[in-house]
Structure 1
Amino acid sequence: MRSSITLKLFLAILATCIVVALAMGMAVRYSFDSGFDDYIRERESQRLDSLAQALAAEYIEAGGWSFLAESGDRWGRSLRLSRYARPSDGGHDHNGRPPGPPPRVVLQDDDGGWLAGPHMRPGADWTRHPVTVAGRSVGWLLSPPPMPMVLNDEVDRRFQSRQLRATWVIVGLSVLLAALVSLLLARLLLVPVRRIAQATRKLADGDFDIRVRVGAPDELGRLARDFNRLAHSLARNARLRRELMADMSHELRTPLAVLRGEIEALQDGLRAPDEAALASLAHEIERLNRLVDDLRELSLADAGALDYRMRPLDLSALAARVLDATRDRYARAGLALDQEIAPGLRLSGDERRLEQLLANLLENSLRYTDSPGRVRLRAGVRDSRIVLEIADTAPSVTAEQLPRLFDRLYRVESSRSRRHGGSGLGLAICRSIVQAHGGEISAAPSDLGGLAIRVEWPLTDGGIADAAGDAPATNQE
């Protein structure tokens, strides 16, 4: 038979049940033997006590042991009255049993002298039972230990044989029942395992939509839930990979198509190789270059290979410097740029990466805020955290689109479309930088009517130089 977990589990349960059944059979057999021996000893003790009472009555009536010498039958009559001896006249007793040998009981006086019974030398293991008259011992009854019950008589041997057969029949039936129960248990316990194994094979073949039914809340149920989470994660990653490849091919195709069209127009003489044509070519090349650089940076972030040189820095001064560098571009786009930066905000981080973070967030608002509009940058401390927020005016995004803003190549096509020239990787890079600095980034509707991007870092010792605890914080709807 092919080795399988079902067979192994069946054999393990069956072997355990067989061992238990054999142990129980031997224990029952031992208990029966020892209990029957105790029963024989107790019965012997009761007979000796009955014989002692009969002899005591005879002793009182005769005034001593003289009655044993007067009549040889008095000893046998005492044995019969005490139900100790079987009839020895060749007949049968009242139970229909044939006569047996006379009992091996010896009567001695108080000094140890022989009075009646077989002339045998008592052994050290003989039972001694006193014959008591008026509270004092006048003699002793001595009886040898009972012989093993299998040797007592034919009735005892037949009884023992029947009990032995019954014990092993019960053991055999218990083993058969154990085999049946073991087989059923092995199959029932492994049903969810087989389901998960079959689903795993389908998952390995690329069927990421496969799910298994979650049964009882035990280890197998948790395994089924973990498998379903794995399948969901693989399905999501496969979908994101397809979307990424489709978006990447589109992003690369657009500037390449423009470049090809421009070059063919120059080759065909439809367009003069003037400064405007060269500037258009340079713009598309720069767009391709930015896309390649962003993809490289994201791949390095995924691999944990981005270089971060952490050191204490003044976040307030850094934010003001980035704002000054972009103020002219905002003015040309017809956007007002407000700032509410608490002084003395200090943070341990990579200055170059944090500048890139702020520049990407400001660039995102610059591209996707309608003119005339307004963009506000706030930085301060709230609830023991350094909070930086960039909020803008319309257009905004829907609640369903907010969780995906930080996905790669994701853009809200209805309002923040490709016509603005973004690669869709800026916010994904921002999330990578924030996480590398131990912070959190989130998006929410802005109180200005557009979008608010909020970045938070834990406030550590030395995280604020001046009294910035009451600095303005965000007010999101």
Structure 2
Amino acid sequence: MRSSITFKLFLAILATCIVVAIAMGAAVRYSFDSGFDDYIRERESQRLENLAQALAADYLEAGGWGFLSESGDRWERSLRVSRYRRDTRASHRDREDGPPPGPPSRVTLLDAEGGWLAGPRVRGESGLTRHPVTVEGRPVGWLLSPPPRAVAVNDEIDRRFQARQLRATWVIVGLSVLLAAVVSLLLARLLLVPVRRIARATRRLADGDFDIRVRVGAPDELGRLARDFNRLAHSLARNARLRRELMADVSHELRTPLAVLRGEIEALQDGLRTPDEAALASLAHEIGRLNRLVDDLRELSLADAGALDYRMRPLDLSALAARALDAVQDRYARAGLLLERDIEPGLRLSGDERRLEQLLANLLENSLRYTDAPGRVRLAAGRRGAGIVLEIADTAPGVAPEQLPRLFDRLYRGESSRSRLHGGSGLGLAICRSIVQAHGGEISASPSGLGGLAIRIEWPLANSRAADAASDFPAMDKE
């Protein structure tokens, strides 16, 4: 449990809440103490003012301080009257019931010259508060009182109130921490529900269950993680399916020529066929077919590993395309196909001449095999927008729209009729895609305006500019 992210997140949230609660408790406590001191100071100041007014009235009535010695309880009564005025200023009920009982404050009365008149005797005035008793604008005496805080400490009611507030503050802090613990646990478990869901799905994905998907929740980071996981699972499922199909197709492609070879050899061994030129030519054809398949597979594996060698140099794509068309002109004519060309002169490209020749040969071979006669094939090349575009389009038959994205998959044929009858391995377009990507371009398939299939290749303008800039430099190897 301690190593789980739920526990760690719980501790992090709880620790944060505890720190905040303690800080708030300390701030509330400081604010209360400061406000309580101000309250005590104002209360004692008001008490001294009330007492000074009462004593001034008695002084004015008696014509001096003699009234304090005439009545022994006069000083205590003055103290009670001053407290009564403060505590019951807004209470009619207390006026009717009389002043509340209570001990007098520790206040000392001095005359105008500083002589003691009443209250506790003090030695020196250090730390004491002086308040004048004025009559007709002149001081006739002085009231000495302890600091307000000292008065509060000796006031039982104030002490009890202060203690209750202190207990209430820390009880609130404790309850806040307890509430924070509950909320932290709930938040930790709630926030990690999507994470645990993705973790379980990841374990199933690692076990080979590529059909697993997770529910995408809110559009936050966890939601994006769930969408990325679903895309990963979809890609793995697709790759697993393609790998199975590839193995099945490769085994089928290998089995067919091997079966023919075995039949031919057995026929020769049994004397059913004579080892003449036709028999040897048939064996050579099947061996060549095997060699082409193995070579294509090896080339694709090297392309996947990034180990194919490319000698990049500036070249004339227009002349390269023209040579590729000239090489297949006779074969197209014998197949009943018209070969058209629309090539803009002076198209320069930085690339591997041998690989680009292989690219054009594969594309033209693909159109030759899968275009019905009479028909026509058109190769067009030129500058379009921000780059160079080369397109090979043919007449019927076409390819279904749902099959277009898979034309560049390995060993994939657009329809079952386009199979071993035409002698292809289904790797030509996959090799073409590898060559185009190595040259920084993009290849795509779409319906042709002639009624068949159009293969379109786009190279960015930067490739053309690089070819122009590097025309005076030696070739470079790209591995």
Q: Which of the five TM-score ranges fits, normalised by the shorter chain?
A: 0.7 to 0.9
**Residue in structure 1 matching 2:371, options 369, 372, 375:** 369
Structure 1 position 78, deviation (Å): 3.1
Q: Deviations over 1:136-171 (max 9, x none)?
A: 545432211135578424444444444444344333
Aligned to 1:196: 198
SS of the aligned residue for 1:400 comes to helix
Structure 1 position 196, deviation (Å): 1.2
Deviates more, 1:246-255 or 1:378-387: 378-387
**Superposition RMSD in Å:** 2.7
Structure 1 position 121, deviation (Å): 2.9
Aligned to 1:177: 179
Q: Deviations over 1:382-428 (max 9, x none)?
A: 11321111111111111111111111111012453321011111111
- 1: CA distance, partners of 2:437 / 2:218: 38
Structure 1 position 54, deviation (Å): 2.0
Structure 1 position 276, deviation (Å): 1.0
Aligned to 2:16: 16
The answer to whether the 8 Å contact 1:404/1:410 transfers is: yes
**Residue in structure 1 matching 2:424, options 411, 422, 425:** 422
Aligned to 2:383: 381
Q: Deviations over 1:88-122 (max 9, x none)?
A: xxxxx96875x53x432233455545444333134
SS of the aligned residue for 1:78 comes to helix
- 1: CA distance, partners of 2:161 / 2:253: 96
- Aligned residues with identical type, % of pairs: 84
**Residue in structure 2 matching 1:360, options 354, 359, 362:** 362
The answer to whether the 8 Å contact 1:21/1:175 transfers is: yes
Deviates more, 1:299-308 or 1:66-75: 66-75
**Residue in structure 1 matching 2:318, options 316, 319, 333:** 316
Query: TM-score scaled by structure 1?
Result: 0.88
Q: Are 1:261 and 2:268 counterparts? A: no
The answer to whether the 8 Å contact 1:109/1:139 transfers is: yes
Aligned to 2:439: 437
Aligned to 2:279: 277
Aligned to 1:234: 236
- 2: CA distance, partners of 1:463 / 1:378: 22
Aligned to 1:450: 452
**1:54-203 aligned within 5 A:** 54-62=54-62, 74-83=74-83, 99-100=102-103, 102-110=104-112, 112-148=114-150, 151-203=153-205
- 2: CA distance, partners of 1:348 / 1:132: 108
The answer to whether the 8 Å contact 1:335/1:371 transfers is: yes
The answer to whether the 8 Å contact 1:434/1:455 transfers is: yes
Aligned to 1:251: 253
**Residue in structure 1 matching 2:216, options 214, 217, 221:** 214
Aligned to 1:44: 44
- 2: CA distance, partners of 1:30 / 1:463: 74
- 2: CA distance, partners of 1:332 / 1:134: 138
Query: TM-score scaled by structure 2?
Result: 0.87
Q: Deviations over 1:26-48 (max 9, x none)?
A: 44344434433332222111101
- 2: CA distance, partners of 1:138 / 1:409: 118
- 1: CA distance, partners of 2:4 / 2:98: 66
Instruction: Return the letter of the residue paired with 1:208.
Output: F
Instruction: Return the letter of the residue paired with 1:12.
Output: A
The answer to whether the 8 Å contact 2:50/2:85 transfers is: no
Q: Are 1:53 and 2:53 counterparts? A: yes
Counting helix residues as a fraction of each chain, which structure ranks higher?
Answer: 2
SS of the aligned residue for 1:387 comes to strand
- 1: CA distance, partners of 2:467 / 2:451: 31
- 1: CA distance, partners of 2:395 / 2:290: 29
SS of the aligned residue for 2:78 comes to helix
Q: Count residues with an aligned counterpart.
A: 457
1:159 and 1:367, CA in 2 relative to 1: closer, same or farther beyond 3 A? same
